[in-house]
Amino acid sequence: MTMTDRSNLEKAAEFIRTHDDFLLLTHERPDGDAIGSIFGLLNFFRDNGKCAEAVLPDELPEKYLSFLPSNYRTDISSVEVAMHQCCIILDTPNQFRIGIGNAAKAEQIGIPVILLDHHPDNAKYGTINVVKPEVSSTAELLFMLSKELPQWRVSPEVATLWLLGMIMDTGGFRFDNTSPATLRNAADLIELKADHHRIMLELLFSKPLALLQFEAELFNSHLHREFGGRFAWIYIPEALIRKYRIEMRDTEGLIEILRSIRNADIVALVQGNGDGFKVSLRSKDSRYSVGWVAREINGGGHEMAAGGKIKNANFDAAMKTLSDLVGKVLHS
């Protein structure tokens, strides 16, 4: 039976209303949306009289820890999984990315699965799947779900966690996935006492000194420009990562800083990786497809954001390959 997403959302709400015991899961290496979504839902369930348990990979990014309740587990056995009435999987396009530790594998979940996600490439697995690519974030989708349960209370803590997810997935309402509905849902959450001020201060206005200095040294000494500045790229030396004790997940914002360089049409972040070089690419103009560049170097992605890997090459040869490909795109 085919149903619209709208009725799937109602169906999910109805299922939740009529069941009592939920296992909540999300993807491995959880980001702000995954974390805000799962902890918000965990507390939303418990606040409204349901039993719920959240299982996450053990290491969560440090910057989120102060926002999180400690009531979650980092591992679970497949036997325990099967003892729950229902499993809710959040923000996870395919089952292989579910981060439920070593003991319980995704394929062993032998209970009904409700899937809630906003990724367009979601494989739509699960007993009930609610996949809405037009929604900014899974956290926003959960807030929409809560509106289907009008008797249930959304506490300030839950509102804060869902707003956190929305803010992290929209780059603080800056990315194109920020729709009028997103802004109105954020407004509703602030009225429910979500701590907008704290999220902005601690997550968007806060950076470790070492990361700031690492970025400063990169832009000072490792920024290259070609084709009259239309192509700007940075190579991140391993030594610099060690010098500032940077973790790779801390460098996620770098490509956005690169992308902000005025008049650069294509930007790239290059890093040594085994026998070659990993390349992240961004374009600022749909006429210049970095998706094509990425596909030429064993990678893929969208036209405006893509990545690949140049294998079996020394640095100079790798950068010549990249530069030639980008040149073709810029001059086509």
Under the rule (CB under 8 A), what is the footprint of a copy of itself? 172-176, 178-184, 186-188, 190-191, 196-197, 200-201, 204-209, 212-213, 215-220, 223, 225, 229, 232, 256-257, 259-264, 284
Instruction: Show Cβ contacts of residue 24 under 8 Å, excluding neighbours closer than 6 positions.
Output: 38, 41, 42, 45, 52, 53, 54, 55, 87, 88, 90
Beta carbon of residue 237, minimum distance to a copy of itself (angstroms, whole number): 15
As given in the structure block, the two tokens for residue 257 are: 């800083």
Nearest CB to a copy of itself, comparing residues 124 and 207: 207
Nearest CB to a copy of itself, comparing residues 125 and 227: 227
Nearest CB to a copy of itself, comparing residues 169 and 215: 215
> Which residue, among 89, 66, 70, has the nearest Cα to 160 in the 3D structure?
66
Give SS3 for 91: coil
Beta carbon of residue 265, minimum distance to a copy of itself (angstroms, whole number): 13
Nearest CB to a copy of itself, comparing residues 59 and 62: 62
Beta carbon of residue 190, minimum distance to a copy of itself (angstroms, whole number): 5
Beta carbon of residue 2, minimum distance to a copy of itself (angstroms, whole number): 30
Beta carbon of residue 210, minimum distance to a copy of itself (angstroms, whole number): 10
Beta carbon of residue 299, minimum distance to a copy of itself (angstroms, whole number): 24
Nearest CB to a copy of itself, comparing residues 82 and 203: 203
Determine whether 100 is exposed, middle or buried from the number of CB atoms within 10 Å of its CB (0-12, 13-18, 19+). Answer: buried
> Which residue, among 63, 105, 102, has the nearest Cα to 82 in the 3D structure?
105
DSSP 100: -
Nearest CB to a copy of itself, comparing residues 176 and 316: 176
Nearest CB to a copy of itself, comparing residues 96 and 175: 175
Interstrand relation of 21-26 and 51-55 (parallel, antiparallel or unpaired): parallel
Beta carbon of residue 212, minimum distance to a copy of itself (angstroms, whole number): 6
Residue-wise DSSP of 296-312: HTT-EE-SSEEEEEEES
Q: How far is CA 39 from CA 54, 225, 304, in A?
A: 7, 43, 32
Using CA atoms of 212, 213, 214, 219 in order, give the dihedral in degrees to the nearest 10. Answer: 90
